[in-house]
Structure 1
């Protein structure tokens, strides 16, 4: 699985469901956030991503894959339009022709993606209303059925302005095998669209056939065979009747043997080499590979045998070409070309340039292909090197971004920071919360403690105290608003709503009285005591400041909570009447009545010890 497909799918999920969903997918599967185009990844990544997205969004994995197929086409065209756009255009004059040439498209991409394992396509049951498309692949994930469907729909719409209806009529998907070579199972799409070209094509074939019969056009077989030095002629029993002289040089004695015992078929993918399959797939490119390596080569049939040498063979013969059914002979001619990986291999197999044909590009590919291939490999290596460095830079940036985000979220809430990134102003983010709980705490006799220890010890003590309080904020999912000297302020119910906000802060306050015992005064090792005040009600919250913005709370609720803390006692939690009314519903707290607290500008407030 190349990174190109994974990168396109990641982009599809981000654009359709948002970055938050994508980051959740990445985190739950422990996979990379970015992918390199030409790098090969694990085949299981696509199923993992699709299934995780289904769990997070509720959209089925099949629908996600269909959308990803559509998106792949559009991103693929956008980023590689200088190549892919033209390739798709020349694959077929009509949508029907394009479907016939799908295998050719994958052959083209082998130049850019050398390790690609392309699927195989062919059409059948064609009529004026559409056709049946057979799809075979080595991949086992059923979601690729819908991925291909989305891709076909996008191309039909974009390039051919054709509105297609696609139905999956049969498939051989199983948990472990996508196709079965023995039972010949595959995926069949019924694609309905106006296919008038089918009738035109059939009529054209009939006209050409009548033309040959009427004019009695004949072509000597020996002259025909000379033009294809690597051809193979076989009958309905798959018995080889004759082979080209080029193939005879590499491996003699093939005449009379059965084709399926001498070669196996690697394309079209997933089919046995049978007479029926050959006739059905005549519009496909065939690729045959010898079952065994040739034992003896370069046995010259020429007089001047000194120009060739006997070599021991470890190579296999690979032929690629077209199957042509000759009705007059009731035979099939495999018009093949010898597939060469490199010049050294070609020489070792005893194949020379003069063995190749003049009428096609075989000789040009040998003479010029090596240099072009070397240049391409060099360019590809450079590109892959750049992609690797870019991936490392992106990963480094992601780490730095995470550090920056953590610092930002320590200053303002994550929800507020996300809104600012979207372009919202600080004024627009000001919000009123009707029901929250506010907590204040400070150290008893803090000024007296400061007179007894050094300044750096004061900072060390405060840092230890705030650290344990921060840990409690994280545990109870409350938000720390600020710390001023020995004062600590936090809130529950905002900016993220929690219906149990009073209970949450009450539990946290009780825990604060416990953990503060772990903080001692340097030198004397005396314990530190704190006062805590709790009050619930409405507040106004928003960002204040431009250079160093702070998330601040305003309102009587904040003032009362602060006064309750100031009027409290060491290692006690003072709560208001409204807090008591909320907590008694839980039945888990011991609450003591006490005298009212007088607050300047307000009537006396009834309070309690928690």
Structure 2
């Protein structure tokens, strides 16, 4: 297959592609016949170039010949694409105008223009009409002539309308009143024309007056931006407003190219180049050095219009109007709406475009507001997450979720739970000998380790005050294994405390741990700062177990001992001791868990190096919770929120559902004398 055939076929498919892409109506509106269609292709390309800035469109010029053929002149900067044109034009003729054409190249040459060489190809177009009509020889044969015309139009007209009109004609003929007078004859002709929806079958022949019925002065005022020049580009006539803006044009026979340059199409400013692209819209721009002083700092005036060659005078008429798109451009050139002719659509374009610009500005503002709203919505979501994080730090997760849903949370009684208290031994002395920031770092390091253990053993951190740490098992989600979980957590606390350095002695800190099992009342108290609070003697007894404990020991009450008895823990009896406010109590020390290792208690990963299984890793390196802790900045909130945020509050038992109310979370702490931290706890106990 030769390239010519491929390009022609491509032209046909490209036409179909344009129709499918939504340009069907636009293409049909270009002209009522093939000549008009081709003549307006350049205008279409000019319009499309506003949307497609990089488009390098060809140019078309068509000439009618006396024998009915047409010469199509094709100009393009791109070589070798001329054979696409026959494919497109043939497809247009067949689809839009129901006619067949033949196209052949009769001339092909390269011409030098301003932008370089252009390919100039001339096609001979021979168009075959879709049908032909024969004129009647005599008026007396009008009925037969009408019948012939009707038969030839059967394919174009609606059959029902045709039968209806033919029935009327036959009825009149049978009545003997058909074509009796000349008037009735023209009524019949009019009915035939009406049958064709007003389209005459013969070609349109315009009527021209013998003399021009407009004087020169009126013409120059009605078309204030027109220019008439000869083959040497000498200006013969100009519009009045153009003379006002460019006074030099008032000089007789001044050359047009001294004052203007051609912006579009990109051709040389010669009469021959202009005639080659006469179907194109011409855009001329004034030269700055030829403008008056008042225009030197203004944008140059651009004119857009068509070139019309007047063969009888050998003059070229440039019928143009200012190329303006907005009131701003009009003001920049010190012009007014009144400078534009009333019939010029540039007036409407400027005003409509001004309205469009205002709508675009509103649309742009709307888009900006939408973007701001999107950003605000995103920020709102982030703030909501922070709020939820803070809420989960103060309240159990499921309780916080119920509060978010607007449900009331009523206090609930838990028949059995296990409470743990711990504090740092000699914390008051450490505070007196260290900088405050050192205390903050020490407590933060300790709390991060403890918070991780709350997740490992699924217990709930109730409160931290100073060096005191309070944990409960079985609340807010009841579970049968609450005592074992708290006991394992306590063993983990002792191990974790070894990794926290005392800033005074540079050795590991020592902690006391106390555990008690019993019933409590739990609920949310407060509105401004709601807190999940535990009430009851169990809280006070657990605090007493801690305050009467021994450093690095886990002190158990009798009820806690019975809850852990027989469950794999090594428990050592302490005997009876005097407990403040409780009298004598038999207490115990929790030594270790016989069924699990320290690594399992700490939640560390274990891997055998030779077998490829996990070995003991450091807490920070192996545990995912500690990897998150590495990003904490040593602030108190890091440790305060960590356990609550990461505790899932799951249970092996069925969850005990609490109804909710908005309240302030406060910790019931028993009174003990001694350290500064204990005095802090005593105020809560007095409140309870």
Q: Which has the larger radius of gyration?
A: 2
Same fold (TM over 0.5): no
TM-score range, shorter chain: 0.3 to 0.5
TM-score (norm 2): 0.38
